[in-house]
Amino acid sequence: MNYVEKRISDLKQYLPDRTAPADLEEFWDRTLREASKRELKDTRESVQGLSSYINYQRVTYEGFDQTPIHGWFLTPAFAVEGPLPCVVLYHGYTGSKGLPEHHANWLLAGYAVFAIDVRGQGGETGNLLPQTYGMTRGWITQGLLDPERHYYRAIAVDALKAVEWASRQPEVDASRIAVAGASQGGGLALIVSALSDIPYKTVADVPNMCHMDYGIALSTSSLVEAADFVSRFPEHLDTVLRTLSYFDMLNLYDRLKAPVLVSVSLKDTVCMPETIFSVYNRIEAPKELIVYPFNGHFTSGDHFGKQVEFLRRG
C-alpha cells in the first residue's frame, strides 16, 4: 500500500465523536416550522442578457427574515417543452450568485438553474440580521453566542427557501431538483438536503460546515473568524462551540436521505479532509466520494461531467 492509499484508508476510518446538543432536534423542528410560515414574497423579472440561448430571470425572495435574497433563474432557450430538472446553486464564502453566463455549463446539460446570493457576502444581497454582539471580521461571528441569532441559521433558512421557490416554478420538474455547491456552498447543499425533502440529489464539493470543532482549531477556512473571536474572548469558547454544533453536518448527517456526491481534496487546508471524511463516513444515504489526492481547495479534471453523470443516473 503506497502513501496515498494509506492516507485514504486511514481517513475512511476516521469517526470522531458527535457534538450534538441535547435540543438539536427541537431546535431544527422549530426553525423549520417557523420557516414554513414565512411567505416568499418573491419577485421575478425577465431581463436581457448576453446570450440568445438563455432565458434570464432576476429573482428576489425573502428567506429567514425581510432581507431580499437575490438570485438568477435561468433556463435554456433551446430546451424542449416540458418541465426541466433544476439545480439550485450555492456559492463559496465571500462569493455571489455570479453572472448568468457563469452557469452556462448547467444550461447546456439541459438543467434549469437557480443561483442565489448568500446574504451579506459578495453579491447584491444585504443582511438585515441583527448584530447582537461585537464581531471580529467577516460574517461567521454574527450572533456567534446564540444559535437562535447566528448567521448560519439565517443562511440555512435562506437556502431552504431557495429550493421551495424553485419547486413552485412552472418550468421546473419539482421531483428533480438538485442542490449543489462548493466549500460554503457544499455545506449549504448538505444542510438543505438534511432539512428538506425537496432535493432528489445533492452535490457537495469540498464542503464546509463539517466537524467544525476540528475546523475552528486547525483549518484556514472562514472558521478562522470564529477562532479569532475566541482568541479575543476566550471565556466564550464553550458557547461558540455549542453554537456551531447546531449547524455541523457531523450532527445532522443522519437526516440525509437523498443520494449524495461528495468531493474531497487531500491537500486542502480550508475544508480539511478530516472534516469531510468525518461526515461522509457516517452518511447512511446512498453516497459517492471523489478523492483528489494532490489538490488543495478545488476540484479538477472533468469534475463537472462527473456531477452531471451522477445527477442523471438512476
Positions at the binding site for substrate: 93
CA 71/CA 117 separation, integer angstroms: 6
* CA–CA gap between residue 162 and residue 51 (Å, rounded): 25
Grid cell digits, residue 93: 464564502
Full-model pTM:
0.97
Look-up: residue for cell 454544533? 245
Phi and psi torsions of 164, nearest 5°: -60, -45
**What's the CA gap between 164 and 58, in Å, rounded?**
17
pLDDT digits (tens, 9 = 90+) for 27-37: 999 999 999 99
Per-residue pLDDT band for 134 (boundaries 50, 70, 90) equals: confident
- When pLDDT is cut at 50, 70 and 90, the band that residue 81 belongs to is confident
Among 11-15, 79-83, 86-90, 188-192, which stretch is predicted with the lowest mean pLDDT? 79-83
The separation between CA 253 and the C-alpha centre of its own chain, rounded to angstroms, equals 14
For the segment 235-248, what is each residue's pLDDT rounded down to a tens digit? 999 999 999 999 99
Active-site residue identified among 211, 245, 268, 278: 268
Reported confidence tier of residue 196, pLDDT bands at 50, 70, 90? very high
Residue 179: the pLDDT is: 99
Residue 15's φ and ψ, nearest 5 degrees, are -135, 75
Residue 287 forms beta bridges with which residues? 260
Identify the pLDDT of residue 80: 73
Whether 131 has a pLDDT exceeding 80, the answer reads yes
Read off the C-alpha cell for 106. Answer: 448547467
Q: What is the pLDDT of residue 136?
A: 85
Instruction: Give me the mean pLDDT over the 97-108 stretch.
Output: 97
* 297 in catalytic set: yes
Query: Please, which contacts does 130-138 make with residues 24 or more away whose CB atoms are closer than 8 Å?
Result: 135/229, 136/225, 136/228, 136/229, 136/232, 137/225, 137/228, 138/222, 138/225
Residue 51 annotated to the active site: no
Nearest to 74 by CA among 40, 118, 44: 44
Q: How far apart are CA 260 and CA 78, in angstroms?
A: 29
Distance (Å) of CA 185 to CA 81, 82, 154, 235: 30, 29, 14, 31
pLDDT band at 270 (very low <50, low <70, confident <90, very high): very high
278 tagged catalytic? no
Residue 143 confidence class, pLDDT cut points 50, 70, 90:
very high
Specify the residue for cell string 455570479. Answer: 98
Q: Which CATH class is domain 3-312?
A: alpha beta
What is the predicted pLDDT for the residue at 178?
98
Do the Cβ atoms of 144 and 196 come closer than 8 Å?
A: no
Mean per-residue pLDDT for 171-186? Answer: 98
Mean pLDDT score of the chain:
97
Query: Among residues 96, 183, 196, 222, which one is catalytic?
Result: 183
- Three-class secondary structure assignment of the chain: CCHHHHHHHHHCCCCCCCCCCCCHHHHHHHHHHHHHHCCCCCEEEEECCCCCCEEEEEEEEECCCCCEEEEEEEEECCCCCCCEEEEEEECCCCCCCCCHHHHHHHHHCCCEEEEECCCCCCCCCCCCCCCCCCCCCCCCCCCCCCHHHCHHHHHHHHHHHHHHHHHCCCCEEEEEEEEEEECHHHHHHHHHHHHCCCCCEEEEECCCCCCHHHHHHHCCCCHHHHHHHHHHCHHHHHHHHHHHHCCCCCCCHHHCCCCEEEEEECCCCCCCHHHHHHHHCCCCCCEEEEEECCCCCCCCCCHHHHHHHHHHCC
